[in-house]
Amino acid sequence: MQVNTNRIRPPGVPGEVETQARRATALQSPEAAQFTSSASLNAALSQAPDTRPEEVARARRLVETRSYPPPELIRRISHLLADQLPPSAD
């Protein structure tokens, strides 16, 4: 028989039960959460553009190119997809 003494704690020594109780208390009290930097984050997000014009222009150029995506990329993607197919029932 093997006895795990790591689970035996003398009275007053914090253990798993106390830790779980503290976690539950922290989850139940939303007023304890402080989000001091959220205002500055929201301000930074409001200043950021919704789109990046240089990336939109790049995407348009790629779409207009007949060789995009390159055949090698299509071949590699098709092999990756084929590897994910389930085995046939034949």
Domain-wise residue ranges, the chain: 52-83
Residues 90 and 87: their CA atoms lie apart, in Å, by 9
Q: Cα-Cα-Cα-Cα dihedral of 15, 21, 25, 26, to 10°?
A: 40
Does residue 73 register a pLDDT over 90? yes
Does this model's pTM top 0.75?
Answer: no
Per-residue pLDDT for 30 more than 60?
A: no
User: Quick one: tokens of 26?
Assistant: 């922290």
What is the structure's pLDDT at 14? Answer: 57
